[in-house]
Chain A
């Protein structure tokens, strides 16, 4: 990758590997190339940052739990199925 103002071709090549980069599928050399490129290319760096934020937002959504009323009904269904009150 170039170290001065990156040209679109360099960006295109780098962008093709973004998904692999974000998922940790690039080897150390390729990772370093992406990171070097982003030191000089504001738009690629911004794209990666915003994609990282997007994935981070998704990860937070996995922590969502059941609303109270839904949880009460879920517990009642388990109790009915097992035939006795829940132990926990």
Chain B
């Protein structure tokens, strides 16, 4: 059993997620009041989220750049008239998710081994193959090791059914709360928890099989 109690680890993770949410809210508030640097950081962050999310969920680098552009423009418009800055993060992921869905719907000839993200979802969506994202702050040797484990994870993620992939990405990679994931995906919180547990079990099996 862990040296650090699981509740402490989870509490630390929840605190980090709360800090991220507060950072977004603070950034949006500053951007909305005309602070140039805050708007720049917000727009870059929105694009980073869009790129990472789109690649992990859908797997098309070329689509990811389109999704980034969509997130950029919508964030710019939205930031100046947002009523509740604390809701920005959920809004951003919902926007990116919808943009991924639109891109996915335009694709024809989806490989047979990919489950649609729409499967079992109230609102609908999509999926696809692996991609490369490099951590620029890491030395080359470490990047190679990191790349290997990142690649394993991305490949394993792509093998999950769409809804499970979406939920595990939002919850365990992007570290959104269960409630936020429920808002973004349209599932109930109970459903998110059930699917997350199944997704982790499937992911674990896929990772161990490689």
Residue numbers of A with Cβ under 8 A of B are 18-19, 21-26, 28, 31, 34-35, 38-39, 45, 48, 50-55, 57-68, 70-71, 73-75, 77-78, 81-82, 86-88
Contact = CB atoms under 8 A, between A and B. Distances in A.
Given A60-B150, A66-B136, A74-B48, 7 more contacts: A28-B7, A60-B149, A61-B150, A65-B134, A66-B133, A70-B68, A88-B41
B201 A51 contact: yes
Nearest to A55: B172
Please classify the interface of chain A as helix (H, G, I), strand (E, B), loop, or mixed, using the class held by over half of its residues: helix
Nearest to B36: A87
B68 A88 contact: no
Nearest to B9: A24
Interface in B38-93: 39-41, 43-44, 47-48, 51-52, 56, 65, 68-69, 72-73, 76
Contacts of A50: 204, 208
Nearest to B133: A64
A29 to B, nearest CB: 11
A40 B39 CA distance: 54
Contact of A66 (B11, B43, B47, B201): B47
Given A21-B6, A73-B65, A57 B196 contact: no
Contact of B48 (A45, A48, A66): A66
B168 interface: yes
Interface centre among A28, A50, A54 (most CB of B within 10 A): A54
Interface string B15-49: 00000000000000000000011011101100110
Interface in B173-210: 173-175, 178, 193, 196-197, 200-201, 203-204, 207-208
Contact of A58 (B65, B136, B153): B153
Interface residues of B, number: 55
B111 interface: no
B133 A67 contact: yes
Nearest to A45: B1
B131 to A, nearest CB: 10
B44 A78 contact: yes
**6 interchain residue pairs of minimum CB distance:** A24-B10, A58-B172, A19-B197, A64-B133, A35-B1, A54-B204
B65 A57 contact: no
Contacts of B7: 24, 26, 28, 31
